[in-house]
DNA sequence: CGTGAAATAGCAACGTG
DNA sequence: CACGTTGCTATTTCACG
């Protein structure tokens, strides 16, 4: 039932036109991905089969990538979190950093500011494991240096919110 | 059915002793949170009710925080991602940054290096919305300045992996 | 870990705008 | 003609033995 092409998303079209129902459904699934279609329908004002069809459409359109368990990192032995900024030259904007996907410690890979800098989110068992990971980074060609930001405590960590973008202002600007 | 205390995690105990079955179950749910207990059991070599009971245990122990849909940010109109580093003084390590949870744009809040610096993961509709968000940041007391890292492309973004921590070395170190 | 009752998912046909 | 609703059947969930 799992697609082998889960890594690649060929979204030819931006998959536009999510109406209010779609957003509510996505919002509900964001809070609990195991909600019943009947429960979702009851929450958004639709019948269960209607919700089911919309979920299929959202999946096919690429708006719904999938569902995942949210796991407490400490419980699985990875309490050490850090954001690693990687300076690299001639980093061919592509294939090379994909090797980092092989490390289960690496949760995020973003290129920042003209594919010369990369931001990594890395979660390890302890500082020593983080150090070993960093040493592995330097064997990649083009890596000039790294700067790590060790997380002391996490106050918020949640998935992408489907809700409408906030219409500011919420707080009045200071009078200067 | 949703707990009002989802924000607070009082894990008195590290909820130790996850055996191989627990980790496999968590791994399966990480790939697809809507898997059937029977499917999970078939994958890990357990019966459906056994999986069901273990999932309940993992949830009660705090190892399984919940399940969530993975949503394509572009499809919901938030293609602009940035990591914002906030410099603050006397930032009372706690309550004040919780106000940022009110912004749906803010997905992560981490304190880094002695609660004088905070790392934010912020997702907005466009650069203008990001600018407006940053202007709101400065109305908070104690905020000295911010440095933003705008993401150009995301190569990897996945939930916490339940798998065993990698036993290095995977790549031989250079001979110096 | 099996068993059984209650609930759910998924599909087909039908009705409505 | 697209989309939502209803009714039905196989599957799943979940407490119990």
Q: What is the pLDDT of residues A153-173, one digit of tens each?
A: 999 999 999 976 655 554 554
Closest CA of chain A from B88, distance in Å: 15
Closest CA of chain B from A83, distance in Å: 9
pLDDT value at position B68? 97
pLDDT value at position A114? 67
> Which DSSP helix (H) or strand (E) runs through B44?
helix B37-44
pLDDT value at position A33? 97
Of A77, A153, A166, the CB nearest to B111: A153
Q: Which residues from the 42-71 window of protein chain A have CB within 7 angstroms of nucleic acid chain C?
A: 48-49, 52
Q: Where are the alpha helices (DSSP H) in chain A?
A: 20-31, 37-44, 48-61, 127-137
Mean pLDDT value across chain A: 84
Contacts of B161 (CB under 8 A, 6+ apart): A76, A104, A105, A107, B27, B30
pLDDT-based confidence at residue A21 (cuts at 50, 70, 90) = very high
* C-beta atoms of A14 and B75 within 8 A: yes
Over B83-149, what HEC string results? EEEEEECCCCCCHHHHHHHHCCCEEEEEEECCCCEEEEEEEECCHHHHHHHHHHHCCCCCEEEEEEE
Residue B152 Cα to chain centre, angstroms: 21
Contacts of A38 (CB under 8 A, 6+ apart): A48
Q: Which residues from the 37-56 window of protein chain B have CB within 7 angstroms of nucleic acid chain D?
A: 37-39, 48-49, 52
Strand partners, A64: B71
Question: At residue A61, does pLDDT exceed 50?
Answer: yes
pLDDT-based confidence at residue B93 (cuts at 50, 70, 90) = low
| Chain B contact probe: residue of A160, A161, A169, A173 with most B CBs at under 10 A | A160
pLDDT value at position A151? 96
pLDDT value at position A93? 59
Residue with tokens 């399984």: B64
The answer to whether A129 touches A80, Cβ cutoff 8 Å, is yes
Weakest-pLDDT range from A25-39, A105-119, B128-142: A105-119
Query: pTM for the whole thing?
Result: 0.85
* C-beta atoms of B63 and A72 within 8 A: yes
Architecture of domain B74-150 in this structure: 2-Layer Sandwich (3.30)
Query: Could you state, in order of their start, the residue ranges of all structural domains in chain B?
Result: 20-61, 74-150
| Chain A contact probe: residue of B25, B33, B51, B71 with most A CBs at under 10 A | B71
pLDDT-based confidence at residue A11 (cuts at 50, 70, 90) = very low
Question: At residue A137, does pLDDT exceed 80?
Answer: yes
Q: For residue B34, list chain A residues with Cβ-Cβ distance below 8 A.
A: 33-34, 67
The radius of gyration of chain A from alpha carbons, rounded to an integer in Å, stands at 20
* C-beta atoms of A67 and B163 within 8 A: no
pLDDT-above-70 percentage for chain A:
80
Q: What is the pLDDT of residues B102-115, one digit of tens each?
A: 999 999 999 997 66
A146 DSSP 8-state letter: E
Q: For residue B85, list chain A residues with Cβ-Cβ distance below 8 A.
A: 149
Phi and psi dihedrals of A45, rounded to 5? 85, 45
- Using CB atoms within 10 Å of the CB of residue B17, give its burial: 0 to 12 exposed, 13 to 18 middle, 19+ buried: exposed
Q: Which nucleotide is nearest to B41 (CA to C1')?
A: C1
Contacts by residues B35-42 (CB-CB < 8 Å, ≥ 24 positions apart): B39/A1
Which pair of structure tokens corresponds to residue A61? 């359109």
pLDDT value at position B15? 40
Mean pLDDT value across chain B: 84
Residue B29 Cα to chain centre, angstroms: 15
Q: What is the pLDDT of residues B31-87, one digit of tens each?
A: 999 999 999 999 999 999 999 999 999 999 999 999 999 999 999 999 999 999 999
- Using CB atoms within 10 Å of the CB of residue A116, give its burial: 0 to 12 exposed, 13 to 18 middle, 19+ buried: middle
* C-beta atoms of A2 and B77 within 8 A: no
| Nucleic acid strand D within 7 Å of B57 CB | no
End-to-end Cα spacing for chain B = 58
pLDDT-based confidence at residue A49 (cuts at 50, 70, 90) = very high
Alpha-carbon span B38 to B73, nearest angstrom: 32
Q: For residue B115, list chain A residues with Cβ-Cβ distance below 8 A.
A: 152
Report the half-sphere exposure of B117 (CA within 13 A, side-chain side). Answer: 14
pLDDT-based confidence at residue B18 (cuts at 50, 70, 90) = confident
Architecture of domain A20-61 in this structure: Orthogonal Bundle (1.10)
Q: Which nucleotide is nearest to B21 (CA to C1')?
A: C1
Give the highest mean pLDDT range of A9-13, A171-175, B129-133: B129-133
* C-beta atoms of A168 and B136 within 8 A: yes
* Length of chain A in terms of residues written: 176
Alpha-carbon span B19 to B112, nearest angstrom: 32
């Amino acid at each position: 039932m799992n697609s082998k092409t889960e890594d690649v998303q060929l979204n030819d079209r931006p998959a536009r036109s999510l109406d209010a129902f779609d957003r509510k459904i996505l919002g509900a699934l964001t809070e609990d991905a195991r909600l019943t279609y009947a429960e979702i329908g009851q929450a958004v004002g639709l019948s269960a089969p209607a919700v089911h069809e919309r979920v299929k459409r959202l999946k096919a359109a690429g708006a719904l990538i999938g569902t995942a368990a949210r796991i407490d990192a400490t419980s699985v032995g990875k309490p050490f979190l850090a954001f690693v900024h990687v300076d690299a030259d001639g980093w061919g904007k592509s294939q090379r950093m994909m090797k980092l996907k092989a490390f289960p410690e690496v949760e995020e890979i973003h290129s920042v500011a003209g594919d010369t800098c990369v931001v990594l989110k890395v979660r390890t068992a302890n500082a020593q494991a983080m150090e070993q990971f960093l040493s592995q980074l330097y064997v990649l060609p083009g890596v000039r240096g790294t700067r790590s930001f060790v997380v002391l405590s996490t106050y918020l960590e949640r998935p992408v919110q489907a809700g409408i973008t906030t219409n500011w202002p919420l707080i009045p600007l200071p009078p200067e």
